[in-house]
């Protein structure tokens, strides 16, 4: 297809091509970050990993921090917001759906590489990660507060903030232990079993 019929100027990549390049750069960066750490990975190394020049990389990302931020937005705690938005508004079903969707989002090659990155480079207390977690806890607490006011869940287990932390913490702990870049199939299955069992117990306790 010519540039005239496609609506593009000669030499300019399509949106699909640009998107593919950006995704390839992000995946390459995550692989290198997981192997060598954030500080040990250069912009040049990321570009070379996919056979591109540094100038092409800078056309998509302002630098390493921008790549890290993009990785966290796709595979960090922000994934929990998607799980929240798509969960049903029935307490027991909500809890199990939330856990299942979070597991699906975090048990991907990209997400597991992000966990290796934050663990390897001591970024577990990074402000971006912490802010994402606090945001999720806040949204969960809002849901639990509404259900308590509607008398749809027990009120003797703790405050909405307590319930939010009690639901999310074991799931995040399973991710840290068994959903990292070097996780074996057995470890990933252990994470799945633990998360599913926790969600089922939490749902029963919440509504009993």
Kindly state whether residues 40 and 135 are assigned to the same domain.
no
Kindly state whether residues 184 and 92 are assigned to the same domain.
yes
Note whether residue 186 is domain-resident: yes
Give the chain as a DSSP string. --HHHHT--TTPPPHHHHHHHHHHHHHHHHHHHHHH-STT--HHHHHHHTT--HHHHHHH-SSHHHHHHHHHHHHSTTHHHHHHHTS-SSHHHHHHHHHHHHHHHHSSHHHHHHHHHHHHTTGGG-HHHHHHHHHHHHHHHHHHHHHHHTT-S-SSS--HHHHHHHHHHHHHHHHHHHSSTT--HHHHHHHHHHHHHHHHHHHHHHH-
Note whether residue 160 is domain-resident: yes
For residue 2, how far is the Cα from the chain centroid?
Answer: 39
pLDDT of 17 reads: 52
pLDDT of 62 reads: 93
pLDDT of 73 reads: 75
pLDDT of 19 reads: 58
Kindly state whether residues 62 and 139 are assigned to the same domain.
no
Note whether residue 37 is domain-resident: yes
Note whether residue 42 is domain-resident: yes
Note whether residue 5 is domain-resident: no
User: What distance in Å separates the CA atoms of residue 52 and residue 42, rounded to the nearest whole number?
Assistant: 14
pTM of this prediction exceeds 0.85: no
Residue ranges making up the domain that contains 130: 76-207
Mean pLDDT in consecutive groups of 10 residues from the start of the chain, 208 residues? 36 50 89 84 93 93 88 73 82 95 90 82 73 90 96 97 97 93 95 97 94
Secondary structure string (H, E, C) spanning 151-192: CCCCCCCCCHHHHHHHHHHHHHHHHHHHCCCCCCHHHHHHHH
The neighbour count for residue 162, using CB atoms within 10 Å, is 12
Note whether residue 173 is domain-resident: yes
Kindly state whether residues 119 and 33 are assigned to the same domain.
no
Kindly state whether residues 87 and 141 are assigned to the same domain.
yes
pLDDT of 10 reads: 38
pLDDT of 206 reads: 96
Number of domains in the chain: 2
Kindly state whether residues 109 and 29 are assigned to the same domain.
no
Kindly state whether residues 84 and 173 are assigned to the same domain.
yes
pLDDT of 39 reads: 86
């Amino acid at each position: 297809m010519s540039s005239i019929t496609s609506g593009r100027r000669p030499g300019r990549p399509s949106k699909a091509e640009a998107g593919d390049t950006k995704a390839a750069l992000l995946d390459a960066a995550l692989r290198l970050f997981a192997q060598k750490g954030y500080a040990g990975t250069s912009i040049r190394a990321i570009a070379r990993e996919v056979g591109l020049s540094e100038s092409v990389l800078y056309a998509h990302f302002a630098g390493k921090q921008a790549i890290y931020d993009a990785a966290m937005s796709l595979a960090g705690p922000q994934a929990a917001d998607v799980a929240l938005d798509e969960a049903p508004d029935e307490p027991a079903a909500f809890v199990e759906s939330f856990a299942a969707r979070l597991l699906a989002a975090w048990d991907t090659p990209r997400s597991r590489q992000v966990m290796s990155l934050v663990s390897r480079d001591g970024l577990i207390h990074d402000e971006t990660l912490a802010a994402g977690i606090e945001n999720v806890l806040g949204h969960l607490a809002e849901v639990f507060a509404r259900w308590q006011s509607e008398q749809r869940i027990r009120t003797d287990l703790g405050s909405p903030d307590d319930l939010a932390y009690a639901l999310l913490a074991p799931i995040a702990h399973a991710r840290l232990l068994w959903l990292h870049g070097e996780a074996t199939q057995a470890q990933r299955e252990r994470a799945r079993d633990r998360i599913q069992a926790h969600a089922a117990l939490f749902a029963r306790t919440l509504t009993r």
